[in-house]
Structure 1
Amino acid sequence: MSRTLYGAYVVLWIFSLVECKVPEVRVTCIFSEDCILPCSFTPNDGDVNIKWYQQDVLILSLQPAGQSLIDDKVRLFSDNVSKGNASLLVKQVDTRSKGRYKCVVNTVTRTYVIATVEAPISTIFINTDPSGLIRCSTKEVYPAPVVQWSTKPSLPPAVLQPITRMTSGGKGLFTVESVLKQQNNSLDHIYVCNIISKYGTQTWTASLKLKEMSSSEGQDLIIPCRAPKDLLSFSLVWTFTTVNKTTDVLEYDSRTHKSSRSWDHADLEEENALKGDVSLNLQKPVGSEHSGIYTCALSGAKTRHLIRTRVVFTSSRQGKDFLKYNLWMLGIVAGLIVLLAITLVIKKYRAKLKRNQENAEEDAEMQRMNPDKTLEEPQAGSTLMTEPSGSHS
């Protein structure tokens, strides 16, 4: 091998080492916001040529003759180029902005940038529908997140079997909805839904507790609701739902300790609210107007908790009718019990008479079968009585 060829191999090997040492930077860009992809170099007095590539496609070129933009969404910080700053500004990031970028200065690759795009989770919803399904959802998220269900007390994942659907809109963002069927013992469990971003940077939690209550019309009632211990600050909204119509009842903010109400006959105990007890006090409810579903919705940082209570108020008239009905039923049951007891006594008496009759018939039958034995016994007796008399004479 000639020295010239050997030297060429050495040069190529050195260049390969240099190429391998090019730094790689990872940047997470937020959807619809501007994002900076870093690149720097050592400035000199000569001309500077800068080129940026995305997926090996040229998107920007800066030469002494001027700046050439292939993509109108990218810019250089022109005032800082002379200071060695070749960073790229990507404006109004969208899902197409993700990928591998390369910064080249004066034909030398300075850095690789791996850009990921994320539309963070901004809200979470949890609710029920008339068919008995529990729905957990979020919208305008990128990339598609992960949805996890659990219960308190815990149930095996195989029992829950949720169905999760993800649909992509025009901007490439995802709407996510996960549906779970209520268990037979739904009132015994709290349903918990976690939505986790693909990169694990966020976890949003929603929970739902179902309850039922009943009370008499006109009697004051407390519908319980307590914030979780780890929820230090929250906003509260009490709502009332009946016949597919939802009405706001009361709002409260734990940070300002201020509340506002839409119902004059509904309020909170302020001292209890400071301790996280935000139970709703209803004064003199009317059965036909106030029977329905009361929802306590607690919202905090990346969390939402719902306690949904179905309340039924019975009127005083209904209460009297119900008592009257119960007395009638009690009388009927008592009558049936007495009738059953009499029937058993009669059956027992008849069975005893039948046994006595059968015994009498058996005795008569035995007498008919042994008539001679019955007659012999007196004759033998008379013989024994006359023998002493004969011997005495």
Structure 2
Amino acid sequence: METCLLPCSFKPGDLVIDWSKGRMTVHIFDQGKDELKDQDASFRGRTSLFPEQFFVGNTSMQLFKVTVDDEGIYQCFVYDRKTDHGTDEYIHLRVEGPVKALSMEQKGDVLVCSSEGIYPQPNVSWAPPSPHKTQIGPMTDRRFSVTSSLSLDVQPPQQYSCNISTDHSWKSATYSLQPPVEISTNITIPCVDSMVPEKSLVWTFNYIQTIQLIVVRSGAEVTYTAPWRPFVEGVSERGSLSLKELSQEQEGVYVCELHTDDTTYISRTVLGHTAPGEAHSPC
């Protein structure tokens, strides 16, 4: 959970500092020490001041393990015993649960885009604009989960992008359904069309609902799984997978998943024997 600083400053003096939120006591400092007997239970163990900085007028409060329930208006009231004068400041705390991750997967002929732990309620958009169903619901901590789905056409190639966003954060995923590829002894399967600032890359093979990991690349480190080492020639800068010495045992669905800071690119290719004019289902 996040920590935030609620700023407040006054002229130095013999201070009584009283932080509150509505009728709730958040933190009181009086006569050189914290006075927390009346502190609201929801803030217990989550607040601190900076006594060593009172001499420069810093009466800010640090709030730990911030939740959506902490959102609201806080009052910082400071009373100076020497001058018998009190002054207050009001701070509006707005809490956001940013879109930290987005997942996209194909289930049969339906493409599903989802995320969770978001606040406030996010927006969902698809490109190109397509009929879709979106469900947004609150989680137990008042943050939101979102699931959006659309139906895929039977015939590739296709490409769809899903974007989930709030006013200050966003994540997107682009899903490409590639035309089927005729298997041959040596072949290269593309991942993305252009260079992108890659953080990680994963290739998987799916045959009769069994998913096998082929290769993982993170930065300069590339790892090939043992069963696939005899068949992998290499992976290009753009993530294309070059395979060699293939047979019918390597027929199936190959999926590339490439991650950048804010976008995930997923490319799905069916490798097998294709009859002329044969249509391929996205299943």
> Do they superpose with TM above 0.5?
yes
Q: Name the counterpart of 2:243.
A: 282
1:295 to 249, 255, 264: 255
CA contact (8 A) 1:227 1:298 kept: no
String of CA shifts for 1:256-315, please: whole Å, max 9, x gaps: 2x4221202332546xx23x2x3222223222x22221001111111100110112237x
In the alignment of these two chains, the number of paired residues is: 263
Structure showing the higher helix proportion among its residues: 1
Partner of 1:43: 12
TM-superposition CA deviations, 1:145-196 (whole Å, max 9, x none) = 2111112xxxxx3xx12212223333333222111111355x2431001111
SS at match of 2:198: coil
Structure 2: give runs of 5+ residues left out of the alignment.
80-84, 277-283
2:179 maps to: 212
Q: In the alignment, which of 60, 75, 80 is matched to residue 27 of structure 2?
A: 60
Report which of the two has the higher share of strand: 2
User: Quick one: which of 186, 207, 210 aligns to 1:242?
Assistant: 207
The CA distance in 2 between the partners of 1:109 and 1:184, in whole Å, is: 68
Deviation at 1:204, TM superposition (A): 1.2
Give the unaligned 5+ runs of structure 1.
1-31, 152-156, 323-393
Equivalent in the alignment of 1:18: none
Alpha-carbon offset, residue 56 of structure 1: 4.3
1:264 corresponds in structure 2 to 229
Return the alpha-carbon distance in structure 1 between the equivalents of residues 240 and 33 of structure 2: 68
Q: Give the TM-score normalised by structure 2.
A: 0.83
State the distance in 2 between where 1:293 and 1:40 align: 62
Shift of 1:222: 2.2
CA–CA distance in structure 2, aligned partners of residues 237 and 196 of structure 1:
25
The within-5 A match list for 1:348-363 is none
Q: Residue 111 of structure 2 aligns to which amino acid in structure 1?
A: I
Query: Alignment partner of 1:209: what SS?
Result: strand
1:29 matched residue in structure 2: none
* Greater length-normalized contact order (CA 8 Å, ≥ 6 residues apart): 2
RMSD (Å) for aligned C-alpha atoms = 2.4
Distance between the aligned counterparts of 1:252 and 1:60, measured in 2?
Answer: 49
How far apart, CA to CA, are the structure 1 residues paired with 2:114 and 2:230? 34
CA–CA separation in structure 2 for the residues paired with 1:112 and 1:297: 47
Pick aligned residue for 2:194 from 228, 234, 250: 228
Offset, 1:62: 2.4
Question: What TM-score, normalized by structure 1, do the two folds share?
Answer: 0.61
- State how 1:1-393 maps to structure 2 within 5 Å: 32-44=1-13, 47-64=14-31, 66-69=33-36, 70=39, 71-72=43-44, 73-106=46-79, 108-130=86-108, 132-151=109-128, 157=129, 160-183=130-153, 185=155, 187-197=156-166, 200-216=167-183, 219-226=185-192, 228-229=194-195, 231-253=196-218, 255-256=219-220, 258-262=221-225, 263-269=228-234, 273-274=236-237, 276=238, 278-287=239-248, 289-313=249-273
Q: Which structure has the bigger radius of gyration? A: 1
Q: 1:78 deviation in Å? A: 2.2
- What one-letter code is carried by the residue in structure 1 that aligns with 2:3? D
> 2: CA distance between counterparts of 1:85 and 1:221?
66
Identity, % of aligned positions? 26
